[in-house]
Every structure is written in C-alpha cells, then in structure tokens.
C-alpha cells in the first residue's frame, strides 16, 4: 500500500529538521546523507524519494529556519502584541543576540552558523541564504519606514547582528562573547531609532 501525501510531507520535514540540526552542529561537508537519514529514523534509500541531492537538502534546511527559528516561534505566540514594526525589529535584535540563542546550537541561524559552508555551496543553498538575509533586512526596513537611508541602516543592522554572533561563536572567552554581542546590540538598536 503506498504512503499518503501527508506521510511524504511529514517524512520530508523530518529529514529537513534532522539535516538542519546536523548542519548547524557539524557543517555541510562533515555531515553525510547516511547520518541525516539515521538521525531522522530513516534509511538512506528513502533520501532520493524526497531530494535530488545533498545540495537541495541543504537549501531546504537553510530555508526551513524561517519557520523554526526562536523569533518566528516567539512572534507567532505574541502576534497580537507585536503589530508595531519598530517593536518587532527591536525584539529581533534582542533575541538574535541573546544568551539563550547563542547557547542553543540546534536553533542557530544559518546566517551565522553556516556562512563559510554556504559560500562554498552551490546555487540553491546560496539562494536560500540570500532569502534569509533579505527577510531579516525587510523586518528592519519596515521598522525604518520613512527614514531616508532605511535600506542602508537595515543592512547595517543585519551585519551587526550576524557579525556579532559569528564572532561570539568563535571565541572561547565568555566575557568577550558577551561584550561582542552587547556592542553589536547597542549599535543595532541605535540604528533602529527613528527621531
């Protein structure tokens, strides 16, 4: 008896979630299809029913962050309270650079967890990564609506958030991890101020 379409969708989602977690922890090159499928509780043979290649899966894993990230979860829970674009943008900066997000490797954003991997990856992962950059920038541009240099400011806020987390992840010094993120947060919030 063939599986239902819902089963195929659920299986694909399990594979993507397994891949996203493993890629965040180990990077694209170090993770094999066998490891991804085993972590999803599936056999390698099923992989090609859902994906043409590891690159396609990588792109899906990067793109999946839009719905599984801490910000999306928190804003979905508080949708009624967060209609103000400026408040939403400030909340994203605070959450993105928080201790909770830094400490939870499984929820790391691909923008800071995988930049070197994506730079070496194929077109599909780069397109998914670009969509994340644009999506984050859109939140900040919306908060800066009416400001003359909104686009430039929004891109600077994205760069501060992502850069702050990239650097914080690379050092073993806990004080430096905190101060890097605090400095990035301070500058990002200053750029989001609309007078």
Encode the chain (195 residues) as per-residue pLDDT tens digits: 566 778 888 999 999 989 988 998 888 889 999 999 999 999 888 899 899 999 899 989 888 877 666 666 666 555 555 578 898 899 889 988 999 888 988 778 888 888 888 888 888 888 988 998 999 999 999 999 999 999 999 999 999 999 999 999 999 999 999 999 999 999 999 999 976
pLDDT at 2: 64
pLDDT at 31: 93
pLDDT at 175: 97
71 vs 138: CA distance, rounded Å:
14
Angle at 14 between CA 13 and CA 15, to 5 degrees: 90
Please name each of the domains of the chain with its CATH number: 5-53 (1.10.10.60), 67-192 (1.10.357.10)
Tokens representing residue 82 in the block: 């967060």
Count of beta carbons in the 10 Å neighbourhood of residue 127: 13
Please name which of 144, 152, 76, 155 lies closest in space to residue 111, comparing C-alpha atoms. Answer: 155
| Greatest alpha-carbon span in the chain | 64
Q: What is the pTM of this model?
A: 0.82
Angle at 187 between CA 183 and CA 189, to 5 degrees: 115
pLDDT at 64: 82
pLDDT at 46: 87
């Amino acid at each position: 008896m063939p599986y239902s379409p819902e089963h195929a969708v659920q299986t694909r989602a399990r594979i993507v979630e397994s891949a996203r977690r493993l890629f965040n922890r180990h990077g694209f090159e170090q993770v094999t299809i066998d490891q991804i499928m085993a972590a999803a509780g599936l056999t390698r043979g099923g992989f090609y029913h859902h994906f043409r290649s590891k690159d396609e899966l990588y792109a899906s894993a990067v793109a999946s962050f839009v719905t599984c990230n801490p910000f999306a979860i928190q804003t979905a829970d508080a949708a009624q309270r967060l209609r103000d674009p400026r408040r939403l943008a400030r909340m994203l900066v605070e959450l993105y650079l928080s201790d909770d997000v830094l400490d939870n490797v499984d929820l790391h954003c691909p923008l800071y967890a995988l930049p070197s991997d994506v730079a070496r990856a194929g077109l599909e992962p780069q397109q998914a990564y670009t969509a994340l950059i644009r999506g984050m920038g859109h939140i900040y541009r919306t908060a800066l609506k009416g400001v003359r240099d909104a686009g430039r400011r929004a891109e600077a806020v994205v760069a501060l958030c992502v850069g702050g987390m990239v650097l914080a992840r690379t050092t073993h010094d806990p004080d430096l991890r905190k101060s890097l993120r605090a400095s990035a947060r301070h500058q990002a919030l200053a750029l989001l101020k609309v007078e």
